[in-house]
Structure formats: C-alpha cells, structure tokens
Chains A and B, each alone.
Chain A
Amino acid sequence: MDFLDYSFMQRALLSGFAIGIVCPLMGMFLVLRRLSMIGDALAHVSMAGIATGLILGLNPTITALISTMTASLLIDLLRKTYSKFAEIAIAIIMAGGLGIGIILITIGGSNTANVMSYLFGSIIAISPFDLFIILIISLIILTFMIVFYNKLFFIAFDEEAARLNGIPVNFINILFMLLTAMTVAVSIKVTGILLISALMTIPVATSIQIARSFKQTSFFSILFALLSVFFGLISSFYFNWPPGGTIIVISLLILIVVLFVKKLSRF
C-alpha cells in the first residue's frame, strides 16, 4: 500500500472513485437509450475546450466543462433538426469539436505541448484544485441521479408512457445531456479524452450479462467500474502505464471473464 504515501496517488484514487461511480451510472442510461456515442462525441469536443484553456492559461477542466456543456445543448438542438437521422447530430458535433481542437493545439505551440496527458490520462496531473472540481461536480451528478433515478428509468424504458404519466421528459432529457457533458469533463484527467466513453459503456455491458434486474444492473456497473479504476490506477503507478488505457484494459478483462463464466455455466 506504499502508493498511498504519495499525495498525487491519493488525489488520483479519490478522483478515480468519484468517476468510477458517476461514469457507469450515466453510461447505463446512455447505453439503454442507444446513445452511447454521445459520450465519445462530447469527449472529442472537450479537446477544443482543453486546448482553449491551455492557450489562455485557464484551468483546462473548467474550459472542457464549458465546451462539453455547450456541445451537449447543440447535439440536443441538432437532433430535433434531423429528427429522422438523430445520430447525424452526434457525428457533426464530434467532427466539429475534433477539428477545432486540432487547430487550437497546433496554433497553441508550446502552451499545448502537454496535451498528451489529456488524451490518455495522467495520475500525476490531478492538482488539488482539479480534485476539488471533480468531487463537487460528481456530487452534483450523483444528487441528480438519486433524485431522477426512477424517472430516468421510466423514460429509458418507454419515453411515450413516461410523457403520458406527466413526467417532464424534455426538461429531464436536457438536464441529463448537461450532466453527461459534466461527467465527460471531470473524467478527462483520469481516463483521458480517448477512453472516457469506454468507462461509461464497458462496465454497463458487463453488468447487463449477469444482472437479473435494473437495480442489479446499476450495482454491478458501478462495482465493475470501481474495480477497473482501482486496479487500473495501481497498475499505472507501478508499471508507469497511462491510467486511461490500463483502466479500460482491466474493464475489458472483467467483461471477458464474465462472458467466459456465463458460457461455462450453461454447460
């Protein structure tokens, strides 16, 4: 447990636990509503936000938060414009965010030199202020999820019936999109831009294989994400691997084990 002697590791673990709870919780509803690509699109947009922060000397987590939240509202707007091809909205925003991000990184020169740590995550890059932001925002997301959990379940299962039961579906959908953007922004430091959506989807995909109810799906999704984050960060510390990749490889290993055990149990 010598890794706990290092304050950067303490911050990485605390941040990791926070995103290990909120990522699968938000991801569960994205997966079940077949919107898992939104996490990926917002992550790509966050690159433009981070580059802006680095160029202007502002905290990149804050600028990423602004860019992803704006993009989430734009996706919602575009989905209404292209109501028959809703996934086009995700592709447009993803391409736009990535394009702007690449230009900003190029013109940023030395200011944007350490952008790699944002692409793949870094356990040493989480400052005390970053940790503060991650914990506060995770708390906001968690509060929303507790308050709206039952409503989100009803909307994910049958949006029309939920609407007829008086649930303010449009309002909750916009709030949910904003909170997905916040989840993406606070996860960047730990998992990196390229792998955020994996932490939102793989633990959920694993959980669906064994859960016998929606409540169990929530529980197992969080459990698998927390295990992946914990062992991913420790492996990252000892082997000097980027935390994002390590976390995702561990979550994939859990998925493979679960699939294998499930297959074996059928014989």
Chain B
Amino acid sequence: MEKSAIYINNISFAYPSQKPIINNVTLNIQKKQFVGIFGPNGAGKSTLIKLILGLLKPSRGKILINGQALENFQDWSKIGYISQKAASFNSSFPATVEEVIAAPLLSKSFLPKITGNIQKKIERALSLVDLLSYKKSLIGNLSGGQQQRVFLARTLITEPEILILDEPFVGIDQTSIKLIFNTLKELNDRGTTIIMITHDLRWLKEEIDLLVCVEKGSIHLHCPVNFKNHVMYHNH
C-alpha cells in the first residue's frame, strides 16, 4: 500500500431504506496515476467520490488516503476537488476571479488582504488555466468554460497531491475542454494523482493509466479495449 494514493477496501453504501448504490467495491489508485471513472448517469460515480472525500460514510468497508484511514486523515489541503455543482454557482455573486481563487488560502487567515505570496500563487494558478488577464473580472461575467477553469485554478492554489474532478467538461466549450485536459496532463506529469469522473468516453484518452467502469444493476458493461489497464466492478 506504500504507493497507494487511495485504497478502497470492499466498501458498500446505501441511503437509508434504499437499495445499495455502491456494493462491495475494492479499488487501488496508485500515486501519480491518471484515473478515469466512467459510467452512465446514476451508476454511483459521484457517490464513490463523496465516500472518498468523507462527505458520505460507507456502511461497510475501509478507505485509506495516502496510507491513512479516512477517519484519521487530516490534511485535506492535499486533496483538490471540483464538484459537478461548482459550475452551477450563483452567477451574480459579486466576487472577482482573484477573490474566488484566493479563498482556500485566505480562509486560513483573518485578514482579507491578498499578500505578495498569495498574489504570486494566484498568478501561477491563473497562468496554468490561461486566465491571467481575467484576474480582476467578476466571475459571473465569464463563460461557463472559463468559470470551470477558475474552479480548477482555485483547487490548484493549495498544490494538491490528489486532484478529483466530477464531470469537469459538462456544458463547456471545446477550447476550455482542451485547455483543462492539457493542464491535467501537465500536472500528472509533474506527479499529481488525477481522478476524473465522466459519463462521456470522448474525454478519456490514451494518456489515462487506469479506467474504472462503474455499472449499476446486472447489465454487463465492457470497458474499451484500447486502454492500457482497466478495472470493472458492478453494483447489484
């Protein structure tokens, strides 16, 4: 388990008085891997991520992050997460791109002032997503794709070791999709573990190290054969 970024050991999850959404799942995600989690809508992909992030508690099984049991894991700044909901924020919220990106770092201090060190980190993160010139713009004035890039930059500012993205390409333009994917690839080359959820196979490219196919019910689902490695599990 030494090289394991996330180790999921035989977990199950069900909402009260409902059928299990996740059933006896075991998965080992190695450090520095680029992992795609694929499956149709409602297959349990987002639930699996919420279990990893501790937002939901498994009814059975264990999850280890960087070798530590989830319930003892403290260093959440090492985990970056962009949720499906990120892009559906209140678009008339009066905040600049800079203020949104600085939030994870500023929330650790009392002063609302962006200091030189934080300013440098903001500029580095914005350069990565090619939005440096939008630093002072109101976030609501940006396109959907640009907003998603801002959320990626906000996640990158804490320099996470593991980056989890839940359907990052839904409803955004091709330029932004290409840019986000290239940024993810670059981060992965530098050692960041990437876990990307999608229901659309077009976004899972050859660069992916591992493809996990999530399927609900008993219908058999085949992962595409042209991927180097794949793991499958079924929820019954």
Residue numbers of A with Cβ under 8 A of B are 32, 34, 146-147, 149-151, 153-154, 156-158, 160-167, 207-208, 211-217
B76, B94, B109, B154: the one within 8 Å of A208 (CB): B94
Which A residues touch B90, using CB under 8 A? Answer: 32, 34
- With A147-B110, A150-B103, A214-B99 in contact, do A165 and B89 touch (Cβ < 8 Å)? no
Inter-chain contact B107/A146, CB cutoff 8 Å:
no
Inter-chain contact A164/B99, CB cutoff 8 Å:
no
Inter-chain contact A146/B94, CB cutoff 8 Å:
no
Inter-chain contact A158/B96, CB cutoff 8 Å:
no
A147, A161, A162, A216: the one within 8 Å of B86 (CB): A161
Inter-chain contact A161/B93, CB cutoff 8 Å:
no
Q: A161-B81, A161-B103 are in contact. List 4 more A-B contacts (CB 8 A).
A: A150-B108, A166-B76, A211-B94, A214-B94
Which B residues touch A147, using CB under 8 A? Answer: 110
Interface size of B by CB at 8 A reads 32
Inter-chain contact A154/B95, CB cutoff 8 Å:
no
How far does the Cβ of A143 sit from chain B's closest Cβ, in whole Å?
A: 11
Interface of A is mostly: helix
Which A residues touch B107, using CB under 8 A? Answer: 150-151, 153-154, 162, 165, 167
Q: Is B138 an interface residue (CB 8 A)?
A: yes
How far does the Cβ of B118 sit from chain A's closest Cβ, in whole Å?
A: 11
- With A153-B103, A160-B83, A162-B107 in contact, do A212 and B112 touch (Cβ < 8 Å)? no
- With A153-B95, A164-B76 in contact, do A215 and B138 touch (Cβ < 8 Å)? no
Q: Is B100 an interface residue (CB 8 A)?
A: yes
Which A residues touch B223, using CB under 8 A? Answer: none
Inter-chain contact A150/B110, CB cutoff 8 Å:
yes
Measured in the bound complex, the distance between the Cα atoms of B196 and A107 in whole Å is 65
Measured in the bound complex, the distance between the Cα atoms of B103 and A212 in whole Å is 17
- With A160-B83, A165-B104, A166-B77 in contact, do A213 and B96 touch (Cβ < 8 Å)? yes
Which B residues touch A156, using CB under 8 A? Answer: 93
Q: Is B106 an interface residue (CB 8 A)?
A: yes
- With A165-B104, A214-B99 in contact, do A157 and B53 touch (Cβ < 8 Å)? no
Which B residue's beta carbon lies closest to that of A220? B94
Inter-chain contact B79/A158, CB cutoff 8 Å:
no
How far does the Cβ of B213 sit from chain A's closest Cβ, in whole Å?
A: 26
Inter-chain contact A154/B103, CB cutoff 8 Å:
yes
Which A residues touch B85, using CB under 8 A? Answer: 160
**CB within 8 Å: A-B pair count:** 84
Inter-chain contact A149/B94, CB cutoff 8 Å:
no
User: 0/1 per residue, B21-57, Cβ < 8 Å to A?
Assistant: 0000000000000000000000000000000010100
- With A213-B94, A214-B94 in contact, do A154 and B110 touch (Cβ < 8 Å)? no
Inter-chain contact B83/A161, CB cutoff 8 Å:
yes
Measured in the bound complex, the distance between the Cα atoms of B110 and A263 in whole Å is 37
Measured in the bound complex, the distance between the Cα atoms of B158 and A158 in whole Å is 16
Sample of 19 A–B contacts (CB below 8 Å): A150-B107, A153-B106, A153-B107, A153-B112, A158-B86, A161-B81, A161-B103, A162-B107, A164-B53, A164-B81, A165-B104, A208-B92, A208-B94, A212-B94, A213-B94, A213-B96, A213-B138, A214-B94, A214-B99
Inter-chain contact B76/A217, CB cutoff 8 Å:
no
Which B residues touch A153, using CB under 8 A? Answer: 95, 99, 103, 106-107, 112
Which B residues touch A160, using CB under 8 A? Answer: 55, 83, 85
Which A residues touch B77, using CB under 8 A? Answer: 165-166
Inter-chain contact A213/B95, CB cutoff 8 Å:
yes
Which of A34, A156, A213, A217 has the most B CB atoms < 10 Å from its CB? Answer: A213
- With A154-B103, A166-B77 in contact, do A215 and B110 touch (Cβ < 8 Å)? no
Which A residues touch B74, using CB under 8 A? Answer: 166
How far does the Cβ of B204 sit from chain A's closest Cβ, in whole Å?
A: 25
Which A residues touch B89, using CB under 8 A? Answer: 157-158
Measured in the bound complex, the distance between the Cα atoms of B111 and A160 in whole Å is 22
How far does the Cβ of A130 sit from chain B's closest Cβ, in whole Å?
A: 31
How far does the Cβ of A224 sit from chain B's closest Cβ, in whole Å?
A: 14
Measured in the bound complex, the distance between the Cα atoms of B106 and A157 in whole Å is 14
Inter-chain contact A149/B112, CB cutoff 8 Å:
yes
Inter-chain contact B96/A212, CB cutoff 8 Å:
yes
Residues of chain B from 45 to 88 with CB closer than 8 A to chain A in the complex? 53, 55, 74, 76-77, 79, 81, 83, 85-86
Inter-chain contact A165/B99, CB cutoff 8 Å:
no
Inter-chain contact A215/B99, CB cutoff 8 Å:
yes
Which B residues touch A211, using CB under 8 A? Answer: 94
Measured in the bound complex, the distance between the Cα atoms of B106 and A149 in whole Å is 10
